[in-house]
Amino acid sequence: MSSPKVGEVILPKPGQKNLLITSALPYVNNVPHLGNIIGCVLSGDVYARYARLRGYNCIYICGTDEYGTATETKALQMKCTPQEICDKYHKIHAEIYEWFNIGFDKFGRTSTQSQTEIAQDIFNKCHKNGYTQSQEMEQLFCDHCKMFLADRFVEGTCPNCQYPDSRGDQCDKCSKLLNPEELLNPRCSICRNTPHLKSTKHIFLDLPQLQERVNTFVDTNSAKGAWSDNSIHITNTWVKGELKPRCITRDLKWGTPVPLEEYKDKVFYVWFDAPIGYLSITKEYTPEWEKWWKNPEQVELVQFMGKDNVPFHTVIFPASLIGTHDNYTMLKTLSTTEFLNYETGKFSKSRNTGIFGDGAKSTGIPADVFRFYLLSNRPEQSDSIFSWDDFNAKNNELLNNYGNLINRVLKYIDNKYNRVLPAIGVITEGDEQFIKEINKLLFDYFENMEAIKIKEGLKIAMSISARCNAYMQTNKAWDYPVTDPRSGTILNILINCIKMLATIFEPFTPLLSNQIHQQLAVDPTPFSTVFEFLIKPGHEISNNITPLIQRIDGNNLKEYRQRFSGVGPEFPIDCKIAQVKQVDNHPTAENLYLLQLDIGNGVTKTSVAGLKGSYPDPSELKDKKLAVVLNLKPSKFKGVLSEAMVVVADDGAGNVSVLSPPQDEISNVQVGSTIAGKGMTIQPKASIDYQKEFLHYELKLENSKVFYKNTELLIAQKVSLTTSRSTPINAKLK
């Protein structure tokens, strides 16, 4: 019921309510976390399921957004093609959404020929109609790579917080949005060389020419109450001022090619290109896609997304469609969310903080429990927080309010009536009052779901379940003899309440509703807007009545919190990558070198290092990137103060090797990069004593990799640390 049969294609039908439902296309090169899931795909799934149960004719379209700088950058890092990155992560996304029981009619992708054809058609018509312009602009160019650098191909120091590893589009530390040209000390993320500004020509969408028609579109649709308040506010910050031309091309290879000879080496910018994915994915679903997308008289477009996607869907994308002069189906209803954060902060895959789709699956907790919690905590008006304590409380609420009602009633019919629903007796005034209350709550449920107030709809569904529970407790069927007609009346009302609840909960917890229907031994049915006796006396329920919801074990809860909160061993060592800028002989000790070390951000430290025996040629160390410890107690060696210690592996015979990045990664590793284990809490201890503390830390070299407490140490969380010359696979670090 919740999705069409395999091979079935749904098209708009005259005289029916035809809904084209989309959710923001998740970017392909990551694993979606719970905030991503509730922000668009899960919310869209709930409404699509509701619409199908109401008998509306609808399709639900989504897919991975695959073009752009981030994919091309990740492919370079992974030493593979962008297509291979997309293939890998598209599969990961699809599997995660399938586990969450998200029933797309089509979950596609944007790297298709359909995308190229439709995107180029929209551009060509906007261009022909005079809604584009060309502009010269200054952009960073890398002479070594012989290419202009799009935002994520540039790294450097954030001008706002001085973070040295900021990206060209946003600083990961302070979250400030940036342009690549604003970075201090910019470097090409591919070759690490310094780029320079160079003039290049790009195509802009002429939004000022389209502003009047965009304003009319916004005013007409947002005024109907069909847009979330936050989406109206965000949109108005764009359209109430003067719109400016928007660049829609980039100097990349991975993307939809621009169909103009002068711009044949450029592709469309992802935020012009990506929303067109809704159309191309629909075309992959049916060649008659225009019956959905060029049919505004019969089709209503309903879109779901997080607030960060709003202006591209309410201004840029509509302007592109308006500029074609084609009769496109335009956005009518827009449901947006704020952000869901994790209890200890933001979701972060690299820091192992928060629950990602694959992590949710690994807990063994049913997907419907995650669905129920996320939807009851949906960030509709303000940001919300995932909390394990709240998650556990909500699971208990679902169990006590909903699960126990179902289990107690069905178990009683199973045990006392041999699974056969008894005859119904007289319906009392109290029964009629109860049914009247249920019908009032059902009216409220439908009113809120029609307005896409999903969180409130679920709240009302739980209120209906609570009211049914109260009826069961007040009218104790088990207090009557099994032959008493009153028991039959109570059980008939309750079993039909359970049938009704299975239907109204289906958009939220579809697997649970399916299990309830199996235990009832009835088929799912569409919504009824009032309470009905759909299951009749004499009906035989399943012979397999089991509890549907389980409590979460306290020990498991503790383990989940630790696993997903980035809690790992504390790393007490301030260990970084430094570069040797100068090597001098110690003035009084013939076996010691004086190393001048660049540790990043223009800071230089002196290290007195006993490396002369193993590195008699100073040129072996000059300009080398190596690991140093910066929080040892400063000590004087033969009268010279040492401010940093070079970490070495000692084979026990007096031969040592410094630790450095692998040869094929040296150019990618920045001076000043932190060395630590993935998931570790980095808390450098002040002034470590070398003999009493450092030598007793669990640092070891195994198979040419460095470990602390059995966790591999990585440079910048991604590059292994190893020895710079042949050393026994197991050697002592000192």
- Residue 168's pLDDT band (cuts 50, 70, 90): confident
pLDDT of residue 567: 61
H helices of 618-720, in order, are none
Q: Give the residue numbers spanning the domain of 592.
A: 570-733
CB within 8 Å of 197: residues ≥ 6 apart: 138, 139, 140, 141, 181
> Contact, 554 vs 540, CB < 8 A?
no
Residue 460 has pLDDT above 60, yes or no: yes
DSSP state of 26: P
Please report whether residue 512 resides in a domain.
yes
DSSP state of 328: P
Token duo for residue 633: 């107690």
pLDDT of residue 225: 76
Both 591 and 631 in a single domain?
A: yes
Domain end, chosen from 541, 563, 585, is at: 563
pLDDT of residue 178: 77
Is 85 in a helix, a strand, or coil? Answer: helix
- Residue 4's pLDDT band (cuts 50, 70, 90): very low
480 C-beta neighbours (distance < 10 Å), count: 17
Rg (CA), the chain: 32
* Amino acid residing at 586: H
Both 598 and 724 in a single domain?
A: yes
Both 574 and 547 in a single domain?
A: no
Residue 3 has pLDDT above 60, yes or no: no
Convert the pLDDT of each residue in 349-400 to its tens digit: 656 688 999 999 999 999 999 999 999 999 998 999 999 999 999 999 999 9
Residue 732 has pLDDT above 90, yes or no: no
Both 521 and 580 in a single domain?
A: no
Convert the pLDDT of each residue in 230-280 to its tens digit: 899 999 988 888 899 999 999 888 999 999 999 999 999 988 999 999 999
What CA–CA distances, in Å, run from 207 to 123, 309, 364?
14, 18, 50
Both 367 and 512 in a single domain?
A: yes
Convert the pLDDT of each residue in 605-637 to its tens digit: 999 988 888 888 999 899 999 999 988 888 888
- Residue 177's pLDDT band (cuts 50, 70, 90): low
Both 463 and 517 in a single domain?
A: yes
Residue 150 has pLDDT above 90, yes or no: no
- Residue 691's pLDDT band (cuts 50, 70, 90): confident
> Contact, 665 vs 724, CB < 8 A?
no
Residue 193 has pLDDT above 70, yes or no: yes
Give me the sign of the Cα torsion angle 597, 599, 601, 605. negative
Both 82 and 100 in a single domain?
A: yes
| CATH number of the domain residue 659 falls in | 2.40.50.140
H helices of 138-275, in order, are 207-222, 229-239, 270-273
What one-character-per-residue DSSP string does 447-458 give?
A: HHHHTT-HHHHH
Average pLDDT of the chain, as a whole number: 90
Please give the tally of structural domains in the chain: 3
Separate counts of helices (H) and strands (E) for the chain:
21, 34
SS3 sequence of 263-275:
HCCCEECHHHHHH
pLDDT of residue 560: 87
Both 554 and 575 in a single domain?
A: no
Please report whether residue 205 resides in a domain.
no
- Residue 1's pLDDT band (cuts 50, 70, 90): very low
* Percent of the chain topping pLDDT 90: 62
| CATH number of the domain residue 102 falls in | 3.40.50.620
Residue 569 has pLDDT above 70, yes or no: no
Domain end, chosen from 511, 532, 563, is at: 563
- For the residues 202-217, what does the mean pLDDT come to? 95
- Give the Cα separation of 154 and 163 in Å (integer): 14
Residue 92 has pLDDT above 70, yes or no: yes
- Give the Cα separation of 318 and 217 in Å (integer): 8
Residue 733 has pLDDT above 50, yes or no: yes
Stronger pLDDT, 696 or 318, i.e. the higher one = 318
> Contact, 290 vs 324, CB < 8 A?
no
Residue 229 has pLDDT above 60, yes or no: yes
> Contact, 285 vs 63, CB < 8 A?
no
DSSP H or E stretch at residue 571: strand 570-571
Domain end, chosen from 518, 536, 563, is at: 563
pLDDT of residue 479: 95
Please report whether residue 417 resides in a domain.
yes
Both 616 and 496 in a single domain?
A: no
Name residue 250's beta-bridge partners: 267
Both 685 and 603 in a single domain?
A: yes
| CATH number of the domain residue 459 falls in | 1.10.730.10
pLDDT of residue 6: 46
Both 289 and 371 in a single domain?
A: no
Q: How many residues does the structure list for the chain? A: 734
Both 511 and 575 in a single domain?
A: no
DSSP H or E stretch at residue 521: none
What CA–CA distances, in Å, run from 208 to 211, 216, 243, 315?
5, 14, 5, 12
> Contact, 459 vs 583, CB < 8 A?
no
Q: Which of 153-157, 177-181, 187-191, 528-532 has the lowest mean pLDDT?
A: 177-181
pLDDT of residue 70: 82
Please report whether residue 159 resides in a domain.
no
Please report whether residue 188 resides in a domain.
no
Convert the pLDDT of each residue in 100-116 to its tens digit: 999 999 999 999 999 99
Convert the pLDDT of each residue in 476-534 to its tens digit: 999 999 999 999 999 999 999 999 999 999 999 999 999 999 999 999 999 999 999 99
- Give the Cα separation of 380 and 186 in Å (integer): 39
689 φ/ψ sector (left φ>0, alpha ψ -120 to 50, else beta): beta
- For the residues 205-232, what does the mean pLDDT come to? 91
* pTM, full prediction: 0.78
pLDDT of residue 728: 47
- Give the Cα separation of 268 and 256 in Å (integer): 6
> For 703-706, which contacts have Cβ atoms below 8 Å and span 24 or more sequence positions?
703/729, 704/729, 706/659, 706/733
Please report whether residue 190 resides in a domain.
no
pLDDT of residue 192: 81
Is 572 in a helix, a strand, or coil? Answer: coil
Pick from 304, 356, 355: nearest CA to 331? 304
Please report whether residue 252 resides in a domain.
no
CB within 8 Å of 297: residues ≥ 6 apart: none
- Residue 223's pLDDT band (cuts 50, 70, 90): confident
Stronger pLDDT, 688 or 296, i.e. the higher one = 296
Residue 2 has pLDDT above 60, yes or no: no
Please report whether residue 434 resides in a domain.
yes
Stronger pLDDT, 349 or 604, i.e. the higher one = 604
- Give the Cα separation of 45 and 464 in Å (integer): 22
> Contact, 480 vs 491, CB < 8 A?
no
